[in-house]
A and B are shown apart, each in its own frame.
Chain A
Amino acid sequence: MAEIKIVTKNLNLFYGEKQALKNITLNIPDKKVTAFIGPSGCGKSTFLRVLNRMNDLIDNVRIDGEVSIDGVNVYDKNIDVVNLRKNVGMVFQKSNLFPKTIYENIVYGPKINGIKDKKVLNEIVERTLKQSAIWDEVKDRLNENALSLSGGQQQRLCIARALAVEPEIILMDEPASALDPISTAKIEELIHELKQKYTIVIVTHNMQQAARVSDITAFFYLGELIEFDRTTKIFTNPAKKQTEDYVTGRFG
């Protein structure tokens, strides 16, 4: 296996009294695609949001255990959460572009991080739009409202926006679940491209998608990590009965 980027040890998460994640221990490799699969409510999205501390924004969430990225404990009280989120980008299930122009959406992140030079911003816009394979479609309409784009384009723009703050890790929470097959294929192709430079963690409901895009797959069930292995192994020869039942569609 490649170098390890993210490590979690004995991670437990509680919403009030309810325990949503139980004793999760896993290692996410650098510059690979790791997929989280499992039925609804199994905690995979919650776990994803642990990695960039998005759960901090919800009241009543309590976390114990350890999460570290490049050996640094993310939940250390001296860690700057804002800086963490800059380094661990996120793409959400539904496109959540701001009601601003395409250009303004991309430069939002760089601008709040203090980049003011117009030339630099223009370069970022061009680079990220090319990286997310949408440059040709939008280069002539950068000053149009981003919400006028199609659903698939909006989602790719969300990815471009996430890339603009130069993260090392990109978390994707079911990024293609609301898209048509052609847009989905484009997103998957994009994920393939991006893993050259970024560590990608993707939550998906679609098992074919997990099989197609990921190198490593983690199967969650009822807040527990059931199995974690190479994608080929999970889908062809899983070690646990539950995993086999799930990936063959017998439940879930």
Chain B
Amino acid sequence: MLKLKKKKKDFMGTSSIWFIRIMFFSLILILLLLLGKIIVQGASTISVEFVFDDPKNNMTEGGIFPAIFGTIAVTFIMILFAVPLGVFSAIYLNEYAKDSIFTRIIRTSINNLAGIPSIVFGLFGLGFFILFVGRNMDEVLQTGLLFGQPALLWAAATLAVLVLPIVIVSTLEALNSVPKSHRDASYGLGATKWQTIKNVVLPQARPGILTGTILAISRGAGETAPILFLGAAFFLPNLPVTDLCIGDYCIPVINPAKQFMYLAYHIFILATQSSNPTKTLPLQYGSTLVLIALTFLLNITAIIFRYRFRKSLGRI
């Protein structure tokens, strides 16, 4: 005869669930406190003038427009460097390179690159991009002192190196997740390797590649240390923009040879280098909120793109 046991009290089970719950709600609490404080304190500072004005009166008043513009300009150029370099390296590693000790060392190095303190990248940028590449370019091209000094271009290049592991690792994962059967189908129809990568693998990997780009943007826009010596200016109301003229028709373009203001660096300056840090406190909160909102906005744009790609693949 079937004998059913009575339900026993599972003390360990219940207590672990409660422990996990407490941990989870602590996390939510920390997030809410952090975001909440910034939003509450920053919201009162934010206004149209704050976003679109230059800093005034020794940076104790006015807006932060040059810093916003600089941040967008640098991240934009950073993406132009990082995405092609990262994506094509990942394609090579995943699709073409044979599995050997050499490629394993490269894979490990890429992962290690992500763990290097960002200040080291800053010093690398100064030493490599400005003093080595820039100075030599000046010498070869006879341009005087044009490339061999801190500038937007080198800041973007250095940040690109910093975010490269993020782009490569997420692209590798995306490429890896494309089923082998789809590749087989393509080869079976008489496609070459490159046709298969271009028409079957890359379209399916696109959402994953975009995720990497999103992460890279967030990371790059929030970094301060690497750009310290690479052209981030203390106070520079002039935007890094030059008019590019074809005949009489002129359009303003980003000038990568100029120095720039940067939101994250600006916050650091306001908090530590200002003549009156207490007076600039609202500005600090306001700038922080703008930086968070900016990264959020960039992320949302990329997420919308990713959603569209996924939808076109019928995955949603």
> Which residues of A come within 8 Å of B, CB atoms?
52, 54, 57, 59, 82-87, 89-90, 92, 94, 96-99, 108-109, 112-113, 145, 147-148, 158, 161-162, 164-165
Contact = CB atoms under 8 A, between A and B. Distances in A.
B185 A112 contact: no
Contact of A54 (B98, B99, B184, B314): B184
Contact of A52 (B188, B199, B314): B188
A94 B185 CA distance: 11
Interface centre among B184, B190, B200, B313 (most CB of A within 10 A): B190
Contacts of B314: 99, 145, 147-148
A82 B199 CA distance: 16
Nearest to B188: A90
Contact of A96 (B98, B182, B190): B182
B186 interface: yes
Given A112-B190, A162-B189, A98 B182 contact: yes
Interface string B172-201: 000000010111111111111001000110
Interface string B97-108: 011000000000
B188 A54 contact: yes
Given A54-B187, A165-B189, A108 B199 contact: yes
B188 A98 contact: no
B308 to A, nearest CB: 14
Contacts of B187: 54, 57, 85
A38 B200 CA distance: 33
Contacts of B183: 57
B190 A82 contact: yes
A111 B34 CA distance: 54
A84 B191 CA distance: 11
A82 B192 CA distance: 6
Nearest to A108: B189
Given A59-B99, A108-B191, 13 more contacts: A54-B187, A57-B184, A83-B190, A84-B190, A85-B190, A89-B189, A92-B184, A94-B181, A96-B184, A98-B185, A99-B315, A108-B189, A109-B190
Interface of B: 98-99, 179, 181-192, 195, 199-200, 204, 313-315
Contacts of B184: 54, 57, 90, 92, 96
Contacts of A90: 184, 188
A84 B190 CA distance: 7
Majority-rule SS of B interface residues: helix
B95 to A, nearest CB: 12
A83 B189 CA distance: 9
22 contacts: A57-B183, A57-B184, A57-B187, A59-B99, A82-B192, A84-B190, A85-B187, A86-B190, A87-B190, A89-B188, A92-B181, A92-B184, A94-B181, A96-B181, A96-B182, A99-B204, A99-B315, A108-B186, A108-B191, A112-B192, A148-B314, A161-B189
Contacts of B186: 98, 108
A197 B184 CA distance: 24
A165 B188 CA distance: 10
Contacts of A85: 187-190
Interface centre among A85, A86, A165 (most CB of B within 10 A): A85
B203 to A, nearest CB: 8
A161 B182 CA distance: 13
Q: Top 3 A-B pairs ranked by shortest CB distance?
A: A86-B190, A145-B314, A96-B181
B184 to A, nearest CB: 6
A204 to B, nearest CB: 18
A213 B38 CA distance: 72
A84 B192 CA distance: 11
A92 B190 contact: no
B189 A96 contact: no
Contact of A97 (B185, B191, B192, B204): B185
A145 B195 CA distance: 21
Nearest to B195: A112
Contacts of B199: 108, 112
Nearest to B99: A59
A90 B187 CA distance: 9
B96 to A, nearest CB: 13
A243 B26 CA distance: 68
